[in-house]
Amino acid sequence: MGAFDLLTAKDSEDAQRRIAGALRVLGVQQGDRIALSMTNSPAVINTALGALRSGIFPVMLDPALTDAEREAILQDCTPSLVLTSRADAESLAKGKPVDLAPVPLARPIHYTSGTTGKRKGVFSGLLDEDSARQLLGEETTQWGINSEDRHLVVSGLYHSAPLRFAITTLMNGGDVVVMSRFEPSVFLQAMTHMQPTTMFCAPAHLQRMVDVIDTGVRMPSVVGIRLVAHAGAACPQPLKQRIHHLFEHDAVWEFYGATEGQVTALSPADWLAAPGSVGRARAGRSITIDDNGTIWTTVPDYARFSYWGDEAKTDAAWRGSAFTVGDIGRLDGEFLYLDGRRDDLIISGGVNVYPREVELAFEHAPGVSDIAVFARPDERWGQRVCAAFVGTADTSSLQTWADAHLHPARRPKEYHRVDSIPRSPTGKIRYRFLAQELGLEPPA
């Protein structure tokens, strides 16, 4: 239980079978949900896999959520069991082993924010075994994952991509190294001592690694690292060039997608051919852009999703076999370029933050009569969350309120008192231009 742990496919298989046995004794049945609100550990992966291979849906929650945020999700997904510590999960691994499906029969449920501020559970439904094999096979083929791989988990396992890479590696017989939390020094130690072959990072992780190396810390050997995949936020071109230099050029891939589904992959060769793009459509997918610039992606049946308990939002996300999460982009030949995330979305350190969600948290804050949340560029995190407010509150009281009501990544880092919030004639806040309209940045 140090800064990082090694999980082998053999040990994980044994734990998964025992966890599934324990869940059966507890009366958790196929189609039920269990909530996991824990920091990174092998037990998180084992529990998620033991559930998925039993047809049970693990709901992956960020342990840093406030009590109110967590309770809202639990009320929505109604889990049969809630696990909040590594000890909770490890106690399940003492159950009597049972047989499991050969592959995960579903995707985990991850909650993603919406423009209304209410989180939505992304739900795959229960898959038949053939569809489940195709889902696993897609990830296996895309990244060439095999039994010789050792994957380094860098990000929180409550995010979809880190858990997906870990699951795919174990299901193909490889090992997984789990960092309990990200620290640049620990990241470099894990690379040195555990010799991973693959890793997934957000650009913020790579930036923090580079910052430490620039202080004189030696870069570990990258021999054997065949894949450094990054996504979750735009990667500045200077950082991307640096990463291609620090690692073997052919190892660095980018991909674009969302919790709802994967869209593109950008190989090292394609990065040189189409700088600034996020790549071509993944196998089995096609991309179209509608008249509003919205990106639509067709996916195979096994990659379909719904929003848990929200038929209206599900219907709005689909057009036949194509889905959208509202992102804006353009195609140049086969290559997709993002012109921006959803107009109001802030991505800070790879975490999606919706202004409306933060604004709702301040709805009853003393001394605040109006508030608008927006982004400003940040060298470390990509974007930082800022707030303009009307009222008598001071920064200290607002920070205290945010600490009690918001996840750390969603707490504003700047507060600006204004006489009024700039709005369009129809009353809408133009989030992307708010910093300019407040005179905090020069006009574009």
pLDDT of residue 343: 63
Q: Which residues of the chain have pLDDT under 70?
A: 1-2, 113-117, 340-343, 424-428, 444
Confidence (pTM): 0.84
Task: Give the pLDDT of residue 237.
Answer: 82
pLDDT in the model for residue 341: 59
Contacts of 242 (CB under 8 A, 6+ apart): 210
pLDDT (tens digit, 9 = 90+) per residue, 21-35? Answer: 999 999 999 999 999
Backbone angles phi, psi at 114, to 5 degrees: -130, 165
- What confidence score (pLDDT) does residue 115 get? 47
> Do 97 and 35 meet the contact criterion of CB atoms below 8 Å apart?
no
pLDDT tens, residue by residue, 321-376: 999 998 888 999 999 998 755 667 888 888 888 888 898 899 889 999 889 999 99
